[in-house]
């Protein structure tokens, strides 16, 4: 069983603080807390899926319980650290909040915290998806969470912090893990591919990072699937074909057609993408991201951008276009006629970008009136 295949997401799971990607603010704070011996009794990690919440919690547990610890720079070959990584440590207890959410199970946990750790310095309870606990379970945890024994540390992870009771949040140090930047995802995937002896083009890596939406674990799973599909060489067309994506060049061309109001080109592009089996919902998301880049460019350059196919558009026009694309999301995702709804959304975005707000027109007319030369004076009129 030692030679059993292990998926990339598990094989390349972060094992030390230095392995964590894109969460420097969290890593720095935890390292400093350990170095300065200011370790809180409860932590709450909040963020989208695949951004490193549970992995960071495990690394934190390793740092607390490693031989000679707590220390941030622990040895990954330390037997205590190895046992935590393998999930066999008696002092690091991982609990799935979705399947252990009853008040009785939390009461059992409350009774267990009284016992001292068997090997390490602390007993660390990692509760994943903590928002799945019932209100009764939360209430049963409150007193223990507020005044736990000195040898107990709690680490909670959640993707939906709105469902966690405020009384729980107020007893924790909260860390918000952000979506990982595409360039960081590409860098890690390139490192993995080199180690796995897989040749992946830059375009393919960019597509995978775009699909992952800030989640490194999702990106690793996509890479795993592409290796199974392609073998030792992965190209951009392969990724586009498997996942129904549209190439970045075609997205840029479609955005340019929106900016120039080329209805014929818009309809032709949609027909082509639909005939090729492309994911129109994903195309709408990618199109919005492209238009947003132009909006930021307009804001940074005095209120005008030419990033959409070289057509100069104002901040107001791009904002209206982006708003129309956003409003059409529901119809494209949930409507019965996905292609028609997508076409209508794009055409509405064109019209929205060409309409003008009445207040902006008044401002422009006022500015023109102020700049125009003064008319003849009353004295000049009498002489005439």
CATH number of 281's domain: 1.20.272.10
Contact 52, 14 (CB under 8 A): yes
**Residues sharing a CB contact under 8 Å with residue 76, sequence separation 6 or more, in sequence order:** 15, 16, 82, 85
Inter-residue contact 257 to 316 (CB < 8 Å): no
Q: What is the pLDDT of residue 228?
A: 93
Same domain, 83 and 70: yes
Judge if 22 and 168 occupy the same domain: yes
Are 237 and 204 members of one domain? yes
In three-state form (DSSP H/G/I as H, E/B as E, the rest C), the secondary structure along 230-266 is HCCEECHHHHHHHHCCCCHHHHHHHHHHHHHCCHHHH
Which pTM does this prediction carry? 0.82
61 and 86 housed in the same domain: yes
Q: Do 329 and 345 reside in the same domain of the chain? A: yes
Q: Average pLDDT, stretch 276-292?
A: 93
- Residue for token pair 């014929």: 264
In this prediction, residue 1 carries a pLDDT of 42
Q: Are residues 274 and 224 part of one domain?
A: no
Place of tokens 């897989």: 198
The CATH number covering residue 168 comes to 3.40.50.300
Do residue 206 and residue 153 come from a single domain? Answer: no
Q: What is the mean pLDDT of residues 164-172?
A: 91
Six-digit token string for 41? 């009794």
Q: Are 64 and 70 in contact (CB under 8 A)?
A: yes
Residue 277 has pLDDT above 60, yes or no: yes
* Residue ranges making up the domain that contains 163: 8-176
Q: Give the C-alpha distances (Å, rounded to integers) separating 58 from 65, 72, 315, 319, 368.
A: 11, 12, 45, 43, 64
In angstroms, the CA 271 to CA 274 distance is: 5
% of the chain residues with pLDDT over 70: 94
| Close Cβ partners of 263 (under 8 Å, ≥ 6 residues apart) | 347, 350
Between 336 and 382, name the one with better pLDDT: 336
Is 21 among the domain residues? Answer: yes
Domain final residue pick, 176, 206, 235: 176
Distance CA 172, CA 337 (A): 47
C-alpha dihedral over 205, 211, 217, 222, to 10 degrees? -70
Position 3 in a domain: no
Q: Structure tokens of 141? A: 């945890």
In a domain, 331, yes or no: yes
- 343 and 207 both lie in a single domain: no
**Nearest partner of 150 among 104, 105, 117, 185, judged by Cα:** 117
Do 70 and 188 belong together in one domain?
no
- Distances from the Cα of 92 to the Cαs of 27, 67, 128, in angstroms? 20, 14, 13
What number is the average pLDDT over the span 243-255? 92
More confident call, 365 vs 77:
77
């Amino acid at each position: 069983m030692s030679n059993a295949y292990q998926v990339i997401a598990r094989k390349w799971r972060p094992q030390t603080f230095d392995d964590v990607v894109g969460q420097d603010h969290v890593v720095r704070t935890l390292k400093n807390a350990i170095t300065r011996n200011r370790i809180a009794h409860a932590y709450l990690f909040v963020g989208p899926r695949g951004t490193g919440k549970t992995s960071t919690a495990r690394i934190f547990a390793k740092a607390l319980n490693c031989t000679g610890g707590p220390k941030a720079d622990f040895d990954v070959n330390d037997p205590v650290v190895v046992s935590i990584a393998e999930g066999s440590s008696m002092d690091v207890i991982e609990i799935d909040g979705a399947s252990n959410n009853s008040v009785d199970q939390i009461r059992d946990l409350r009774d267990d915290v009284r016992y001292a750790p068997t090997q390490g310095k602390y007993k660390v309870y990692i509760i994943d998806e903590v928002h799945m606990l019932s209100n009764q379970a939360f209430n049963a945890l409150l007193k223990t969470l507020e005044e736990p024994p000195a040898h107990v540390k709690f680490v909670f992870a959640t993707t939906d912090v709105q469902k966690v009771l405020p009384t729980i949040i107020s007893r924790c140090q909260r860390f918000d893990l952000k979506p990982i930047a595409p360039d960081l995802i590409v860098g890690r995937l390139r490192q993995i591919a080199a180690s796995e002896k897989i040749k992946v083009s830059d375009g393919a890596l960019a597509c995978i990072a775009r699909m992952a939406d800030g989640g490194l674990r999702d990106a690793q799973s996509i890479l795993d699937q592409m290796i199974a599909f392609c073998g030792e060489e992965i190209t951009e067309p392969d990724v586009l074909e498997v996942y129904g994506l549209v190439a970045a060049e075609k997205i840029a061309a479609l955005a340019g057609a929106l900016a120039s109001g080329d209805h014929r080109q818009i309809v032709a592009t949609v027909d082509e993408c639909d005939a090729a089996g492309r994911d129109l919902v994903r195309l709408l998301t990618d199109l919005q991201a492209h238009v947003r880049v132009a909006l930021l460019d307009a804001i940074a350059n005095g209120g005008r951008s030419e990033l959409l196919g070289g057509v100069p558009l104002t901040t107001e026009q791009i904002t209206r276009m982006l708003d129309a694309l956003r409003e059409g999301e529901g119809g494209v995702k949930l409507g019965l006629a996905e292609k028609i709804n997508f076409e209508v959304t794009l055409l509405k975005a064109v019209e929205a970008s060409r309409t003008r707000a009445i207040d902006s027109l008044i401002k422009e007319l006022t500015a023109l009136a102020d700049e125009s030369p003064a008319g003849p004076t009353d004295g000049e009129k009498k002489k005439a």
